[in-house]
């Protein structure tokens, strides 16, 4: 296992299991430590991965003890959103080389900026897990758009649900990726919140509508919770054609194409149509490029934290637009959570009281709400 990057995982839940699978499939890492408040969570990981030669982790119920004792190169942060900043900052200060933190980057843009600051100060490479940047269909769509196959890109439309930072931070990141990472220069939107709905201990809206303007003249639009449609695909309209993209495949039509042309690209780690193709391919491709970046084989990494920050900033700007009743010029100046500001100030009263969290299904034991002291 010499030469492999030593990984410790903080928070052994749903998405971290995909990080571990990606690390193992990419063959660039060994998993040497796990930290979770729940012993059971770590045992569940052992059951899933212990057959693998590169999986021999020590267990810790205290993440800081793991950081102190395990001589890690890489840390995965897979706790709930409000734990991203404290855990990333602790990992950065402990002297690791790189951190892969889950999306949304944090619960506020202020704490996300702190994460980047502490990583910069300690020379740590910080990445955010918008793993769909690594999907073959996304890459093909990006290439087609860049090659002018639909002319000038004009509008991307998408359908979402389950809260903007939770779900649509992926979409915000996707718009920028497909368009070649232009700057988002303005945002306008509105939200409805009649129920006391939360996602992983962060308040979310019931419905949202948002438009994003980019410095290349293109625009993107989210309808969230407004129709039954949702997904991590998109319709991309250009001056000379359009693309319908899903996470697995795409079809394109333009003035030369004589109708729709379908494309079903294979990945490097899974063939098109393979069960759970999206997560397997994206997880391993993300891990492989992350390793190349950490070891200096490549200079640029597509999941670098500045991109994760911009995705968070875009969805929080929708809330800020609803809060201020105005078009928000980027960069976003408000560094707290604008939806929480509206709720706390009474600007957005709940019509149907009774708090519930759409992600409480992953809590363990008798817990029905998260103990936020321990996130
Ligand atoms: N990239 C994606 O597609 C994707 C998919 C799902 C979740 N996510 C993100 O991943 C994060 C985690 O979500 P999840 O659904 O995997 O959560 P989860 O509830 O499945 O797992 C979280 C784990 O963290 C542990 N934990 C909590 N506090 C801890 C602490 N202080 N120290 C150590 N462990 C601690 C919990 O015990 C639990 O096992 C969220 O921010 C979410 O938005 C991303």
- 157 and 260 belong to one structural domain: yes
Residue 212 sits in a domain whose CATH number is: 3.30.360.10
Q: What is the Å distance from ligand 1's center to 69 Cα?
A: 22
Q: Ligand 1 pocket check: which of 80, 287, 362 to mutate, most ligand atoms within 8 Å of Cβ?
A: 80
The alpha carbon of 73 and the centre of ligand 1 are apart by a number of angstroms equal to 21
From the CA atom positions of the chain, what is the Rg in Å? 20
Dist CA 174 CA 157 (whole Å): 11
Whether 105 and 217 map to the same domain: the answer is: no
Q: State residue 147 phi and psi, 5-degree precision.
A: -80, 0
Q: Are 183 and 313 in contact (CB under 8 A)?
A: no
One domain, residues 241 and 354: yes
Query: Are residues 71 and 18 part of one domain?
Result: yes
Instruction: Answer whether residue 336 shows pLDDT above 70.
Output: yes
Residue 18's domain comprises 5-128
Per DSSP, the three-state class of 137 is helix
For residue 1, what pLDDT band results from cuts at 50, 70 and 90? very low
Strand, helix or coil at 86? helix
98 in the same domain as 142? no
Residue 116 is assigned to a structural domain of this protein: yes
Q: Which atom in ligand 1 lies closest to the alpha carbon of residue 79?
A: 24
Token pair for 280: 């397997």
Which residues are 263's β-sheet partners? Answer: 250
For residues 212 and 320, state if they share a domain. yes
The tens digit of pLDDT for each residue in 192-237 reads 999 999 999 999 999 999 999 999 999 999 999 999 999 999 999 9
Task: Indicate if 23 and 117 belong to the same structural domain.
Answer: yes
pLDDT at residue 361 greater than cutoff 80: no
pLDDT tens, 244-277? 999 999 999 999 999 999 999 999 999 999 999 9
Is 275 a member of any domain?
A: no
Task: Calculate ∠ Cα 311-219-264, nearest 5°.
Answer: 75
Domain termination residue (choose one: 109, 128, 147): 128
Show the ligand 1 pocket: residues with CB < 6 angstroms.
10-15, 35-38, 41, 63, 78-81, 83, 102-103, 129, 131, 166, 200, 359, 362, 374-375
Q: Whose CA is nearest to atom 14 of ligand 1?
A: 14
Question: Quick one: pLDDT band at residue 375, thresholds 50, 70, 90?
Answer: low
Q: Which of 8, 12, 13 best tests ligand 1's pocket when mutated (most atoms within 8 Å of CB)?
A: 13
In a domain, 273, yes or no: no
- The answer to whether residues 124 and 141 belong to one domain is no
Query: For residue 36, how far is its CA from the centre of ligand 1 (angstroms)?
Result: 10
Total domains present in the chain: 2
Same-domain pairing of 149 and 246: yes
Residues 255 and 321 in one domain: yes
Residue at 46 is within a domain: yes
Classify 276 in phi/psi space as left (phi over 0), alpha (psi -120 to 50) or beta. Answer: left
**57, part of any domain:** yes
Q: How many other C-beta atoms can be found within 10 angstroms of the C-beta atom of residue 147?
A: 8
Q: Is 255 exposed, middle or buried (0-12, 13-18, 19+ CB in 10 A)?
A: exposed
Q: 262 and 326: one domain? A: yes
pLDDT in tens, 54-103: 999 999 999 999 999 999 999 999 999 999 999 999 999 999 999 999 99
Give the list of residues 6+ apart from residue 338 with CB closer than 8 angstroms, or none. 316, 319, 320, 322, 323
E runs forming strands in the chain: 5-10, 29-35, 55-60, 74-77, 98-101, 125-128, 153-160, 184-192, 195-199, 202-203, 207-214, 219-224, 234-238, 241-245, 250-254, 261-263, 328-329, 352-357
- Last residue within a domain, chosen from 128, 154, 178: 128
For atom 27 of ligand 1, the residue with the nearest CA is: 375
Give this prediction's pTM.
Answer: 0.97
CA of 375 to the centre of ligand 1 (A): 9
CATH code, domain carrying 56? 3.40.50.720
pLDDT at 359: 87
For 316, list phi and psi in degrees, rounded to 5: -70, -25
Nearest alpha carbon, ligand 1 atom 2: 15
Q: Which residues contact 273 (CB under 8 A, 6 or more apart)?
A: 248, 264
Q: Which of 306, 335, 311, 332 is nearest to 321 (CA)?
A: 332
| Boundary (domain end) residue, out of 89, 104, 128 | 128
For ligand 1, mutation pick of 41, 67, 78 (most atoms within 8 Å of CB): 78
Considering the domain boundaries, does residue 298 fall inside one?
A: no
Residue 152 in any domain: the answer is: yes
Structure tokens at 186: 């303005």
Q: What's the pLDDT at 196?
A: 97
Mark whether 348 and 206 lie in a shared domain. yes
Residue 367 located in a structural domain: no
């Amino acid at each position: 296992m010499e030469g492999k990057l030593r990984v410790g995982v903080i928070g052994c839940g749903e998405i971290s299991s995909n990080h571990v699978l990606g690390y193992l499939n990419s063959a660039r890492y060994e998993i040497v430590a796990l930290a979770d408040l729940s012993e059971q969570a770590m045992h569940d990981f052992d059951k899933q991965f212990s057959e693998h030669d590169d999986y021999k982790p020590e267990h810790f119920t205290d993440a800081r003890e793991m950081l102190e004792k395990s001589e890690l190169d890489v840390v995965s942060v897979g706790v709930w959103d409000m734990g991203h900043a404290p855990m990333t900052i602790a990992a950065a200060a402990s002297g690791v080389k790189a951190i892969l933190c889950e999306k949304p980057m944090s619960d506020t843009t202020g704490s996300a900026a702190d994460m980047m600051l502490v990583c910069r100060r300690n020379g740590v490479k910080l990445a955010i897990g918008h793993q769909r940047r690594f999907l073959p269909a996304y890459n093909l769509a990006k290439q087609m758009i860049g090659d002018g196959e639909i002319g000038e890109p004009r509008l991307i439309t998408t359908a979402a649900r389950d809260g903007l930072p939770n779900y649509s931070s992926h979409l915000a990141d996707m718009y920028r990726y497909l368009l070649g990472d232009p700057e988002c220069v303005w945002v306008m939107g509105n939200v409805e919140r009649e129920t006391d709905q939360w996602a992983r201990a962060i308040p979310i809206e019931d419905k949202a509508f948002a438009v994003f303007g980019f410095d290349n003249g293109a625009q993107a639009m989210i309808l969230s919770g407004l129709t039954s449609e949702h997904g991590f695909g998109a319709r991309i309209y250009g001056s000379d054609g359009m693309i319908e993209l899903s996470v697995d495949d795409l079809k394109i039509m333009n003035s030369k194409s004589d109708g729709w042309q379908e494309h079903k690209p294979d990945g490097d780690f899974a063939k098109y149509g393979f069960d759970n193709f999206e997560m397997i391919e994206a997880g391993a491709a993300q891990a492989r490029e992350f390793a190349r970046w950490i070891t200096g084989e490549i200079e640029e990494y597509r999941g670098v934290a500045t991109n994760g920050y911009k995705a968070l900033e875009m969805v929080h700007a929708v809330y800020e637009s609803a809060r201020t009743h105005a078009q928000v010029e980027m960069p976003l100046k408000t560094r707290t959570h604008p939806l929480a500001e509206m709720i706390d100030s009474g600007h957005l009263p709940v019509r149907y009281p009774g708090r519930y969290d759409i992600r409480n299904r992953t809590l363990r034991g008798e817990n029905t709400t998260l103990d936020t002291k321990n996130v």
